[in-house]
Amino acid sequence: MLFNSYQYLIFLPLVWLLYWHVFKPLRWQNLFLLVASYVFYGWWDWRFLALIVITSACSYASGLAIRRLQDTERRRAAWWVSAANIVFNLGILATFKYYNFFVESAEELLAVFGVHMDWPTANLILPVGISFYTFQALSYSIDVYKGKIAPTRDMVAFFAFICFFPQLVAGPIERATNLLPQILKARRFDHATAVDGLRQMLWGLVKKMVVADSCAMAVNRVWAAPDNFSSLTLLLGAALFSFQIYCDFSGYSDIAIGSAKLFGIKLMRNFSVPYFSRNMSEFWRRWHISLLTWFRDYVYIPLGGSRCAQWKIIRNVFVVYLLSGLWHGANWTFILWGVFHAVLILAYRFLGFNAKHKEIVAHNSSLPNLKEAFSMVVTFILATIGWVLFRAETIADAWHYFTSLFTRSMFDLGSVDVGKKALVLCLVLLVVDWIGRKREHPLQFDGNGLMRHRACRWALYYGLIAAIIFLQGHQEAFIYFQF
């Protein structure tokens, strides 16, 4: 079910009431959480539950086997068990997500050399969230093998860790070292944490239903027939998609993290105002944090990270961003998107910008200086170029969109006839995000200023709810559900 649906509006409070007031013992809470998560996931298609159960069971069994073998000093056998589980789970992911892509790409490549093959393709439906929970399961096996976490014998708790419903279908991609210990230990209801969770959920719904869905109406119209619009409108459409995907995905993450707080569980932060980044390296430290840190810890560092020869660093960066692109989808546009960002990251690295900007922009001031403002604009433009590749169905479509940007109509302000409402909403979002850039989310009040007054807080809540009711765009599925 969707976070922005009436079903979830009923499901969440019902699960919350039963979780805290009926199933009080830890074992019963975890069992109920597992059942609720399966209901949540099975709402799309109950048949996909078999895949997540298989992934959970194999990862659970492999964890126990790895530790048992390591205790008897059979580390090579333990390595094989870990590798087998990784290959098995990646095999499931590859079959459902990449099989047809690999077959069709191989046929096209062979056709270049005059060899014509007609391999069978499979009519498979991509299970929602398979990339997310597969990576979560893989991290558990790797961490157990490396000794970062002890394997659990509590099967219910482990299965609940894999399928915890708030972050099941679109992240954050949690590590066992963070989420599993929270599920294994007794939890107590904390009123302040729950209230903060509700605020974060409200802000996530505003970003998704008001900003992202309003942007989607304009973006879909422009991308459906780009030849019918001026260059300036196409430029606006590209910028609006940058805001759409940000508000759509970060909005989901806010709702997921906020929902988890209601159950006494803290998920990792997945976004940190990425469009206020001063270079692309900083952008990727603030965008989809759980995915990039996953690739950093399980791919980049094992390959040697940055502590190796220059050619190896280049190789490692390309491997990470190629995999990141492929993770997003079985399409050459995603692979090219990954290559584009790898080139940018390496360029910034060789220019000496890679390790700069650990603090948020304008950390000790209210406004950025001219250099920071210019850097943020450049970073946003580069990210938007990448998002055009991401949004396009084919590389030819992306090329056509780019070439259509450079016409005389670029300077015709009167030619813009779509996206004006969305543009205003994006500007308001930027102001709010800027004010709250040092917090986890803008509604995380510190007890100072106007928001220390209860009446002001409730006026804001009702205002945001009214915005959701009266300003929301046409309901769209979350973009990252397709990954």
Residue type, 115: V
Distance from chain centroid for Cα 234? 26
State the Cα–Cα distance between residues 36 and 141, nearest whole angstrom.
25
Catalytic residue selected from 328, 341, 357, 441: 328
3 state DSSP class of 358 = coil
Which long-range CB contacts under 8 A does 403-406 form with residues at least 24 apart? 404/226, 404/227, 404/231, 404/234, 405/231, 405/234, 405/235, 405/238, 406/231
Query: Which tokens sit at 364?
Result: 């000790």
Using alpha carbons, select from 193, 206, 189, 132 the residue that is nearest to residue 162: 132
Residue type, 476: E
State the Cα–Cα distance between residues 372 and 278, nearest whole angstrom.
6
Using alpha carbons, select from 61, 59, 79 the residue that is nearest to residue 69: 79
Is-catalytic flag, 474?
no
Query: Which tokens sit at 229?
Result: 């619009």
Query: Taking the CA of residue 268 as centre, how many other CA atoms within 13 Å lie in the half-sphere pointing to its CB?
Result: 21
Residues with Cβ within 8 Å of 465's Cβ and at least 6 positions away in sequence, in order, are 202
**Residues, the chain, total?**
483
Residues with a catalytic annotation lie at: 328
